[in-house]
Amino acid sequence: MKCTVCREPAVIDVRRHNANFCAPHFLRLCRDQVAKAIKDHSMIGPDERVLVAVSGGKDSLAVWDLLVELGYQADGLYLGLGIGEYSDASGEMARSFAQERDLHLVEVDLPRDHGFDVPTGSKAAKRVPCSACGLSKRHLFDEAARTGGYDVVVTGHNLDDEAAVLFGNVLRWQTDYLGRQLPVLPARHGFPRKVKPLIRLTEREMAAYCVLRGIDYIVDECPMAVGNKHLAYKEALNAIEATSPGSKHDFYHGFLARASSRFTPDAEAEQANLAPCERCGAPTTGTVCAFCKLAERARGAAPTAVPVTLGRSR
């Protein structure tokens, strides 16, 4: 198998592009796709301060690496979520990445700074773990960006993530969610813009990028995500992709181009009801935001342990 660009031996076949690539041309493809996403959706201005939400996994480390390669001034933000050894290992990955490249990593620790961890919060609030985790992360990203004076928060959501979320939202016709499933969430209520530069790249491509760039990342799945419905959606979409390459791209990018705006009124109706949380000032539809409610319940609960086994990428 030869590289479609230069005819040297290929290291990866990308069936949705009907192409094979050697390492240098695959890395160039990744940079070009991120640059196109940023340009097409006006994600990041040239002089803006960028904060990359870093988990220690492949996507967040790859997007940080790609933004630096493209010349952006990007700092990282690592959130310690208190998920046992998994958080210890993922934090180590994020720190090593930053240290080896002389990049600045901001750290927030949920147990240290807010008095609870995700397993305990999930159980106390009777939320599924990914819901409690996502809620906490969104709140803490906003808070860290606001405190640090950043213009834009970057997350490592890739094409598979977005296609899986879209799949779930369509299955249940959650029209308010569909109306705000966008690659750019504008700044509002004093909070920064949030952008997803990896929407043109798949999970497999991001894992390949990390291997080829020598980026050490945490390979094993978060122990709290076992049985998560989005993992099942991803498997279903990959089964379709295997027989019809390009389906995930067409599903998600077709939605953005031809359907997304139809759901905007539903999302705007929800946004119109937002007011500052009386405790922390974060936007909420009630008087107290979901994060403050979660924290209140979790601080009064008994700690929940998380048994894990972990693997590094190399």
89 binds other proteins (CB under 8 A): no
CA distance 157 to 148: 22
142 binds other proteins (CB under 8 A): no
256 binds other proteins (CB under 8 A): no
Q: Can you list the alpha helix ranges (DSSP code H) found in 126-275?
A: 129-148, 159-171, 175-179, 203-213, 229-243, 247-258, 264-271
Neighbours of 223 (CB within 10 A): 17
4 binds other proteins (CB under 8 A): no
- Residue 15 or 188: the one with the smaller Cβ distance to other proteins is 15
Shortest distance in whole angstroms from residue 221 CB to other proteins:
6
Neighbours of 207 (CB within 10 A): 19
16: closest CA among 220, 252, 257, 258?
A: 252
Instruction: Determine the length of the chain.
Output: 314
222 binds other proteins (CB under 8 A): yes
Shortest distance in whole angstroms from residue 138 CB to other proteins:
7
Exactly one of 79, 165, 198, 292 binds other proteins (CB under 8 A); which one? 165
Beta strands (DSSP E) in 9-65 are 12-14, 19-21, 50-54
Exactly one of 34, 195, 206, 306 binds other proteins (CB under 8 A); which one? 206
170 binds other proteins (CB under 8 A): no
- Residue 226 or 272: the one with the smaller Cβ distance to other proteins is 226
Q: Which DSSP state fits 284?
A: E
The two three-digit tokens of residue 1, written as one number: 């198998």
241 binds other proteins (CB under 8 A): yes
307 binds other proteins (CB under 8 A): no
- Residue 72 or 209: the one with the smaller Cβ distance to other proteins is 209
Shortest distance in whole angstroms from residue 73 CB to other proteins:
26
CA distance 264 to 271: 10
Orientation of helix 118-125 relative to helix 129-148, angle to 10°: 120
Residues of this chain that interact with other proteins (CB under 8 A) are: 1, 10-13, 15, 20, 23, 57-59, 128-131, 133-134, 137-138, 160-161, 165, 202-204, 206-208, 211-212, 219-222, 224-225, 228-231, 234-235, 238-239, 241-242, 309, 311, 313-314
